[in-house]
Structure formats: C-alpha cells, structure tokens
A and B are shown apart, each in its own frame.
Chain A
Amino acid sequence: GEKVEQHESTLSVREGDSAVINCTYTDTASSYFPWYKQEAGKGLHFVIDIRSNVDRKQSQRLIVLLDKKAKRFSLHITATQPEDSAIYFCAASGAYKVIFGKGTHLHVLP
C-alpha cells in the first residue's frame, strides 16, 4: 500500500536556526502534500501544503520543496522560535485519503 516515510523522528535546533524535515512517498498518484503540526494533547493543525504542479511554496517562515522525480518532499522552518516546538507530520494524498508519516518531534532550544 501507499507509504510515507518521515526520516527524522526527532530534531533539535537552536532558536533562530533553520529546521528541515524530510519525507518520501511511494504512490506515484499522490498529488497533494500537506504538513500538520501537533502539540501535546491536541489534534493535528494544518500548517502548509504543496500540490504536484509546483516544486516550491513559501508561507512566511515555512518553505515546502517537492521533488516528484525522487518522490521526496521537505519542510523548512526558518528562524525557528520556541513556539515551533511540536510534532510535525508530513502526508501525501491522491483523491481523498491522506497517508501520514510517523511524525518528527521538533525541539527548538533556547
């Protein structure tokens, strides 16, 4: 079945530095790649997405890159802040079902 591999299970960065989370997917039919953030005891909160017709998207401090040939995508968080600390999930989707990676626990250290 479809799989999404999230390469970093934990990631620690210093406040102000950049964080990069990498994911790969298996289903060539995937065309939509959202990212979600989960804070302790809460549900998933959408942060940014990218569709397969582009290879880069930026929203403020968040940048998503997509390499369709390599079936790889990544989330870059620039100028990290303490409130960025959370679990981040990458995901891939075709029509409606969203397949998630296992999450990256990002720690932003002071």
Chain B
Amino acid sequence: NAGVIQTPRHKVTGKGQEATLWCEPISGHSAVFWYRQTIVQGLEFLTYFRNQAPIDDSGMPKERFSAQMPNQSHSTLKIQSTQPQDSAVYLCASSLHGGNSDYTFGSGTRLLVI
C-alpha cells in the first residue's frame, strides 16, 4: 500500500501560468478530499468527491480553481492564471467509505507562484 500519492511534490510557476496538481488515492477508497494549507489560514477544505462524483466544492475559490476526478485512480486540481496568493501546500486525502474517520493524507504538493 503506497498510500495517497501526490505529484509533483514541488511546483514553481510564474504568475499567470496554469498549475495542475495530481492525486492518486488509495486503491479501493471511494472518496477524495482536497485541502489547502498555509501558515496564515491553516488547513482549508476545498472540495470532496465520492465515487468520482463531486459532492461538495464549497471551499473552492469561485474563479480560477477547478477539480476533477475522471476515474477512480486519480483526481486533479487545476489552478488557472496562478497568483502569488495561491502559494500553499495542497493536500489530498482519501477515505474508504467517504466518511470522516479514515482519512489518509498524501504528502502534499508545495506550490510556489513567483
């Protein structure tokens, strides 16, 4: 069991460029969650998929951010026209049954927008 795999581990983009972050959940897990971690805001919920369907995207910024789960083996978080304030660690977690009690987190992608 390789755990939740996030790629890349580090990404540097220029302001205005697009960034795509990848998450491979644990095989058999039905739910994927995305969080953003910054020093100032801490851990912020972004979005949640269950059985590949988007369930709750209430934490996603309305503009420039989108998330997809095209198949059960990966999810992507895309940020268009990146801004310096998007710099953060983006964490993905998966859960076997979609509940709150068996989150397993990946190591995160550290995004730096310069």
Give the CA-CA distance A46 to B43 in the complex, in Å: 15
The majority secondary structure among interface residues of chain B is strand
- Which of B70-78, B79-87, B93-101 interfaces with chain A? B93-101
Is A99 part of the contact surface with B, judged by Cβ < 8 Å? yes
Give the CA-CA distance A98 to B55 in the complex, in Å: 14
The majority secondary structure among interface residues of chain A is strand
Given contacts A43-B108, A44-B91, whether A95 and B99 have CB atoms under 8 Å apart is yes
In this complex, what residue of A is CB-closest to B4?
A: A43
Which one of A49, A95, A99 contacts B45 once the chains associate, using CB atoms below 8 Å?
A: A99
Give the CA-CA distance A12 to B103 in the complex, in Å: 28
Docked-complex contact A100 and B100, CB < 8 angstroms: no
* Contacting residues of chain A (52-92) with chain B, CB-CB under 8 angstroms: 89
Residues on the B chain within 8 Å of A24, using CB = none
Which one of A43, A93, A103 contacts B91 once the chains associate, using CB atoms below 8 Å?
A: A43
In this complex, what residue of A is CB-closest to B101?
A: A32
Give the CA-CA distance A95 to B99 in the complex, in Å: 6
Q: How far is the CB of A94 from chain B (nearest CB, A)?
A: 8
Q: What is the interface of chain A, defined by CB distance below 8 A to chain B?
A: 32, 34, 36, 41-46, 49, 89, 93-103
